[in-house]
Amino acid sequence: MNEHNQSMAWRSATEQVPRHVAIIMDGNGRWAERRGLPRSVGHRMGVEAVRRTVRAAIELGIQHLTIYSFSSENWSRPASEIDDLMGLMKRFIRRDLAELHQNGVRISVIGEREGVDAELLGMIDEAVSLTCENLALNLMIAFNYGSRAEIAKAARVLAERVEKGTLKPEEITPELLASVLDTHGVPDPDLLIRTSGELRLSNFLLWQAAYTEFVFLDAYWPDFGRELLEQAIGEFHKRNRRFGGVATRSTG
């Protein structure tokens, strides 16, 4: 009981949780290697961590949870590992879609469709369509995603409008560009968590994270769950978010 009270200490300062939490789920392979296990076991345990984290996000009242499940750079990994990751995505949808839908989770997916097999694309489309009206949590899965490609694609959309004469170059604003990103309609992350001790964004939400608070954890992703999520939120509440302005409160 004392340990749980410590993990919930951030609630004594405020009942507000971050509206949008983004997570770079890193360290599955290293978690397995440290235990003398195949990397595939680490990826399977990583899916269990996703399940725990989604449940915790709903319980804590987080509105948006974005998880970095497969980057566009991950195609450089061995073919066997890519096949395993794709298979895990399929099994996650088959096994968890009904429960996620029942719990009011809305699934959205950002990233490129090119290169993803047709069966998986069909399953993704089904999951998105089935859950599109749910309100408990928006689970946004960054799959075959790269932020630079996302920004370049948005720039092309606006360039095409200029070419057609429906948009003047001087009318292009940060807000307009944001409206044609994959994440349009979703607030920017308040908190971004990366596991495994690495201290970089790895081409994840580069535009959206301009004023996001970062928390880097030494734990590998398969060990992640509610306790570490609450720990990260507690760290988030120690930050003084100025958004480029003047401090509004003391961090004590």
The Cα 2–Cα 204 span in angstroms is 36
CB atoms within 10 A of CB 123: 17
Which residue is catalytic, options 26, 84, 188, 190? 26
Q: Which residues pair with 78 in a beta bridge?
A: none
- Residue 135 phi/psi, 5° resolution? -125, -10
| β-pair type (137-145, 64-71) | parallel
Q: How much is the pTM?
A: 0.89
Q: Identify whether 188 is a catalytic site residue.
A: no
DSSP assignment of 126-183 equals HHHHHTTT--SEEEEEEEEE-HHHHHHHHHHHHHHHHHHTSS-GGG--HHHHHTTSTT
Q: Does residue 162 lie in a domain region?
A: no
Minimal CA–CA distance to 20: which of 202, 143, 193?
A: 193
The H or E element spanning position 21 is strand 20-24
Residue 76 has what pLDDT?
Answer: 85
CB hemisphere CA count around 242 (13 angstroms): 9
Range of the domain at 227: 2-8+15-146+188-236
Higher pLDDT, 17 or 2: 17
Residue 5 has what pLDDT?
Answer: 47
Find the mean pLDDT for residues 86-101: 94
Find the mean pLDDT for residues 79-103: 93
Residue 243 has what pLDDT?
Answer: 65
Q: Does residue 163 lie in a domain region?
A: no
Q: Does residue 157 lie in a domain region?
A: no
Report helix, strand or coil for 67.
strand
On whether the CB atoms of residues 168 and 192 are closer than 8 A, the answer is no
Per-residue CA distances from 170 to 38, 151, 159, 166, 179 (Å) = 54, 18, 12, 12, 16
Q: Does residue 244 lie in a domain region?
A: no
Comparing 15-24, 212-221, 224-233, which segment has the lowest mean pLDDT? 15-24
Which residue is catalytic, options 2, 5, 28, 74? 74
Q: Does residue 200 lie in a domain region?
A: yes
Report the CATH number at residue 53.
3.40.1180.10
Find the mean pLDDT for residues 106-126: 95
Band of residue 225 on the pLDDT scale cut at 50, 70, 90:
very high
pLDDT digits (tens, 9 = 90+) for 70-85: 888 888 888 888 988 8
The Cα 184–Cα 45 span in angstroms is 31
Q: Please check the confidence at residue 7 and state whether its pLDDT lies above 50.
A: no
Q: Does residue 40 lie in a domain region?
A: yes
pLDDT digits (tens, 9 = 90+) for 121-178: 999 999 999 999 999 999 999 999 999 999 999 999 999 999 999 999 999 999 999 9
Gyration radius of the chain's alpha carbons: 19
Torsion angle, CA of 73/92/215/191, rounded to 10 degrees?
100
Q: Does residue 53 lie in a domain region?
A: yes
Comparing 93-97, 113-117, 130-134, 218-222, which segment has the lowest mean pLDDT? 113-117
Band of residue 57 on the pLDDT scale cut at 50, 70, 90:
very high
Q: Identify whether 26 is a catalytic site residue.
A: yes
Q: Does residue 46 lie in a domain region?
A: yes
Band of residue 252 on the pLDDT scale cut at 50, 70, 90:
very low
Band of residue 109 on the pLDDT scale cut at 50, 70, 90:
very high
The Cα 86–Cα 89 span in angstroms is 5
What is the tally of structural domains in the chain? 1
Q: Which residues pair with 138 in a beta bridge?
A: 64, 106
CB atoms within 10 A of CB 2: 6
Residue 75 has what pLDDT?
Answer: 85
Band of residue 190 on the pLDDT scale cut at 50, 70, 90:
very high
